[in-house]
């Protein structure tokens, strides 16, 4: 059942914010892809972060497509939250999830293709992924007899929120241990932050129009996704610009810096070129 908007202006704002979040969030993947491509290396990019991120977006895609396309799931949603409530998933959410699964798969392919140093997937990450998909199988088996599809995809949504919190930790810790963010694109972080802001603003717009905050509890995953993303983006910005700024200048040999300091900024045409001729001591 499609609910009507009370304000056409808010409906337009909701649509614009949704697709703005899609565009910005989608573009946030490309700086890292291009950085890896031009460097022919994924050193500095945490493998565990990528694997957790791909799994998280796969679960989010299942949730979004089910709630957006399935009349059965939508009916169960209205039964739980009220038939006067709007479905909290928009077309841009489905498009975003689909794009994320594809781009995270591309990044994982780059891990297999390019130089990665001595990094590998940790046993903890493999254990988390294995336990998660085992839980998915068990919950699906439980939901099938009673056709409790809304309950099932809500479990998926909860899992992707948990992964949204966990996935950033390996990259943040890796930056801390290396005391550097080299190899991890800050462009990705900046776009991700503004995408999260637009996504959260879209939820607020719908709540204002419907004079209800049920859509927040009805799609807590989308809300927490925005908030968690923005929080860790701020952490990464702090690491990149404050804690571990670029060390390019610091990596220049001190001897070269000293020689540079001794040479004049502009050479006079009449000034002879300096040579390593010993100067006689004054008497």
Looking at residue 197, its pLDDT comes to: 92
Of residues 282 and 84, more confidently modeled = 84
Total structural domains within the chain: 1
Query: Considering the domain boundaries, does residue 53 fall inside one?
Result: yes
Instruction: List pLDDT tens digits, range 155-209.
Output: 998 899 899 889 999 999 999 999 999 999 999 899 999 988 998 898 888 888 8
Average pLDDT over residues 271-283: 48
CA dist., res. 99 & res. 97, Å (int): 5
Q: What confidence category does residue 247 fall into, taking pLDDT thresholds of 50, 70 and 90?
A: low
User: Given this model, what pLDDT does residue 116 score?
Assistant: 86
Helices and strands in the chain: count of H runs, count of E runs: 11, 0
Residue 154 lies in a domain: yes
The angle, 0 to 180 degrees and rounded to 10, between the axes of the packed helices 220-238 and 149-178 is 0
Residue 96 has pLDDT above 90, yes or no: no
Q: What is the mean pLDDT of the chain?
A: 84
Residue 121 lies in a domain: yes
Residue 263 has pLDDT above 60, yes or no: no
* 125 and 166 Cβ atoms separated by less than 8 Å: no
In a domain, 228, yes or no: yes
State residue 282's pLDDT score: 44
On whether residue 133 sits in a domain, the answer given is yes
Q: Helices 149-178 and 47-69 meet at what angle, rounded to 10? A: 160
Q: Note the pLDDT of residue 271.
A: 52
* Helix extents (H) in 211-253: 214-218, 220-238
Q: Is residue 275 part of a domain?
A: no
pLDDT tens-place string over residues 132-155: 999 999 999 999 999 999 999 999
Q: Of 30-34, 106-110, 248-252, which range is least confident?
A: 248-252
| pLDDT, position 269 | 52
- Judged against a pLDDT cut of 60, whether residue 262 lies above it is answered with no
pTM: predicted TM-score of the whole model, two decimal places? 0.76
Inter-residue contact 53 to 244 (CB < 8 Å): no
As a whole number, mean pLDDT of residues 203-217 equals 81
Backbone dihedral angles phi then psi of residue 11, each to the nearest 5 degrees: -65, -45
Domain that holds residue 149: 8-254
The 8-class DSSP code of residue 240 comes to I
Q: Is residue 282 part of a domain?
A: no
Per-residue pLDDT, 255: 45
The residue among 174 and 217 whose pLDDT is bigger is 174
Q: Looking at the domain assignment, is residue 272 inside a domain?
A: no
């Amino acid at each position: 059942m499609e609910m009507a908007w009370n304000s056409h202006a808010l409906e337009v704002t909701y649509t614009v914010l949704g697709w703005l979040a899609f565009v910005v969030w989608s573009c946030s993947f490309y700086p890292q892809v291009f950085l890896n491509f031009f460097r022919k290396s994924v050193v500095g990019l945490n493998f565990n972060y990528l694997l957790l991120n791909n799994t998280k977006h796969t679960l989010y895609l299942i949730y979004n497509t089910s709630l957006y396309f399935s009349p059965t799931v939508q009916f169960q949603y209205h039964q739980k939250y009220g038939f006067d409530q709007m479905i909290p998933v928009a077309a841009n959410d489905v498009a975003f999830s689909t794009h994320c699964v594809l781009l995270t798969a591309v990044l994982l392919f780059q891990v297999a293709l390019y130089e990665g140093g001595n990094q590998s997937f940790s046993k903890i990450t493999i254990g988390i992924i294995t336990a998660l998909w085992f839980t998915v199988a068990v919950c699906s088996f439980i939901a099938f007899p009673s056709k409790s599809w809304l309950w099932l995809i809500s479990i998926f949504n909860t899992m992707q929120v948990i992964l949204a919190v966990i996935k950033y930790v390996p990259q943040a810790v890796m930056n801390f241990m290396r005391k550097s963010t080299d190899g991890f694109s800050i462009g990705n972080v900046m776009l991700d932050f503004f995408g999260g802001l637009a996504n959260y603003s879209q939820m607020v717009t719908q709540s204002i129009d419907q004079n209800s905050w049920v859509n927040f509890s009805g799609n807590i995953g989308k809300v927490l996704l925005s908030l968690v993303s923005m929080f860790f983006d701020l952490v990464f910005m702090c690491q990149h610009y404050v804690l571990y700024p670029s060390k390019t200048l610091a990596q220049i040999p001190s001897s070269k810096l000293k020689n540079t300091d001794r040479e004049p900024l502009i050479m006079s045409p009449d000034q002879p070129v300096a040579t390593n001729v010993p100067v006689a001591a004054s008497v």
